[in-house]
Amino acid sequence: MKKISYYFLSSLILYCVLFNVSCTSDNSPSESESVAPLSPTPTSLNFQEIMLNTFSVANFFKFSSTGITNDIIINSPSAFLISSDNSTYTNSITLSNTANQNITIYVKFAPTELGSVDELITINSLNRPQKTVQVKGIGIPRVYNYQTFLNARSAFGAGLNQTNTETFVMHNDVTNIEKIYAYIKLKCPTGGCNAWDVFANIKVKDPQTNDWYEIARYITPYGKNNEQVSRGFKVDVTDFKSLLTGSVELKSFVEVWGNDGWLVSVDFDYIEGTPDYKYYAVSSVVQYNQNSLEGVVYGEDASAFDLTKTVQIPSNSQATSLRTVITGWGHATPNDPDGRPCAEWCYRTHKVKINSADTFSHYLGPIGCNSNPVQPQGGNWSPDRAGWCPGMGVPVRTDNLTNSFAGQSFDFEYEFEHWVNDLLSTNSNIHAYYAISTFVVVKSDTPIVKPTVN
């Protein structure tokens, strides 16, 4: 009896080791206490942020099929695809004849909706308890990136140029593009960046009229790149998406007066989504923005500058807005009571009149130069200017008209706050200027033409 018991016990131990099962106190295997078979490692996979309608890189989990003779069925939620060979991906896998193997299942996150997803992959086999793997991810909008200017040199002197103009191929269909952002990166050429804060902008050519439209304006830092802003100055240029399509001609300008200058790079993100309206069109209303000193003269006779227009809106416009960018320049007197000369420093409130009525106001006041992430700079970078700062993008002022004026016209006028230049500045900088651009943007869910501006 002792010999038989010894051989029985040895066989039982060998069975438990080979098939990785627990043995009960009465020396018999218990199916309900089987733990290792089908138990996945790890039990959770986190894919973080993945763009809609794309695939993540593959992650994986493993489990053992020891003692499993029936089919193993693995199912995944719709946003997560699974594969047993890291080649063919689906939402359901059936594994047959896989007893006593170590199995790897690959997983990819393929979101089709925005937002967080937190679900379970299930692992089942007949007469076995279900096992699960938690899978998490966040669906974010799909982004198409287009690099345009890349380290384009802007400088002044023999063989140098403040302006660079090139043609680029951009996104073809913008009807499902919700936003377009431009990113402007500045680097220093050999020898260092230019020492001054100067006017700079990016323009796009309207192929119908060959006019150049200012889509982004920024002010260079004093002698420093803008690497502290990871991708550079960010500007929402969605208003111009009808022009930022297909073959696009762009112009980069920096009003630099030294042979050092800047290296300018510009790239664009086109973000898929549901736009407010499928179709946009844009026309120039006012543009006195060739450089800082070719803006509208402030406080003197400005009769040479036309700030009054009549705008005819297409009949199918569902939304109409005005987009203005403005910066003041010059150290003209008299100073304001707090010692601020015009128009770089003097705080002012301008009015936008629609059909002779004061409809919108633009306050050119402090925007927090001291908190600019591009710091420290040279020069007097930290004191607040009137509506702009060295080493920052210039704010875009958007005015949404409550009436779309579809099929109608309206009168537009830009009015500066009253002030008179006494031309008594002690230096040569005796004039004040406002470099300004204003555009009218129309939107519709049906194809739309440009407004007419007279």
Tens-place pLDDT, residues 354-388? 999 999 999 999 999 999 999 999 999 999 999 99
Q: How is 145-160 classified by DSSP, letter by letter?
A: EEE---SEEE--STT-
Mean pLDDT for 409-417 is: 98
Q: Are 415 and 438 in contact (CB under 8 A)?
A: no
Range of weakest confidence among 7-16, 262-271, 300-309, 372-381: 7-16
What distance separates the 2 farthest-apart alpha carbons in the chain?
122
In this predicted structure, what is the pLDDT of residue 306?
97
Closest among 76, 172, 176, 196 to 124, alpha carbons compared: 76
410's tokens = 């309206």
How far apart are alpha carbons 294 and 220 in whole angstroms?
Answer: 18
pLDDT tens digits for 246-257?
A: 999 999 999 999
In this predicted structure, what is the pLDDT of residue 28?
34
In this predicted structure, what is the pLDDT of residue 427?
72
In this predicted structure, what is the pLDDT of residue 39?
95
pLDDT tens digits for 57-79?
A: 999 999 999 999 999 999 999 99
pLDDT tens digits for 189-235?
A: 999 999 999 999 999 999 999 999 999 999 999 999 999 999 999 99
In this predicted structure, what is the pLDDT of residue 431?
95
255 among known catalytic residues: yes
- What percent of the chain is modeled with pLDDT above 90? 90
The answer to whether residue 14 scores a pLDDT higher than 60 is: no
Q: Output helix, strand, coil percentages for the chain, rounded to the nearest 5.
A: 5, 45, 50
358 among known catalytic residues: no
- What percent of the chain is modeled with pLDDT above 70? 92
**What is the pTM (predicted TM-score) of this model?**
0.84
| Dihedral class, residue 116 (left if φ above 0, else alpha if ψ from -120 to 50, else beta) | beta
How far apart are alpha carbons 102 and 97 in whole angstroms?
Answer: 13
pLDDT tens digits for 138-181?
A: 999 999 999 999 999 999 999 999 999 999 999 999 999 999 99
358's tokens = 């004061």
Beta strands at 44-51 and 131-140: parallel, antiparallel or unpaired: parallel
Q: Residues 197, 206, 260, 269: which is the catalytic one?
A: 197
The number of angstroms, rounded, from the C-alpha of 233 to the middle of its chain's C-alpha atoms is 11
Backbone angles phi, psi at 240, to 5 degrees: -105, 20
Q: Are 235 and 123 in contact (CB under 8 A)?
A: no
Closest among 366, 360, 348 to 417, alpha carbons compared: 348
| 398: Cβ contacts below 8 Å, ≥ 6 apart | 321, 322, 323, 324
What's the chain's average pLDDT? 92
Q: Residues 206, 239, 269, 344: which is the catalytic one?
A: 344
pLDDT tens digits for 105-137?
A: 999 999 999 999 999 999 999 999 999 999 999
pLDDT band (50, 70, 90) for residue 425: confident
178 among known catalytic residues: no
The answer to whether residue 351 scores a pLDDT higher than 70 is: yes
193's tokens = 């960046």
In this predicted structure, what is the pLDDT of residue 429?
82
DSSP helix/strand/coil, 347: coil
Q: How is 198-232 classified by DSSP, letter by letter?
A: -EEEEEEE-TTT--EEEEEEEE--SS---TTSTT-
Backbone angles phi, psi at 305, to 5 degrees: -110, 125
**Record: fold of 16-140:** Immunoglobulin-like (2.60.40)
Q: Which CATH class is domain 142-275?
A: mainly beta
Burial of 205 (0-12, 13-18, 19+ CB in 10 A): middle
Question: What is the domain partition of the chain in residue ranges?
Answer: 16-140, 142-275, 276-454
Residue in the structure block whose two tokens are 């004061």: 358
276-454 has CATH 2.60.120.230 classification: yes
Measured from the Cβ of residue 165, the count of other Cβ atoms closer than 10 Å reads 15
> Do the domains spanning 16-140 and 276-454 agree at the CATH topology level?
no
Range of weakest confidence among 216-225, 347-356, 427-436: 427-436
The answer to whether residue 9 scores a pLDDT higher than 60 is: no
Mean pLDDT for 418-435 is: 89
pLDDT band (50, 70, 90) for residue 13: very low
Q: Residues 206, 255, 260, 269: which is the catalytic one?
A: 255
In this predicted structure, what is the pLDDT of residue 36?
60
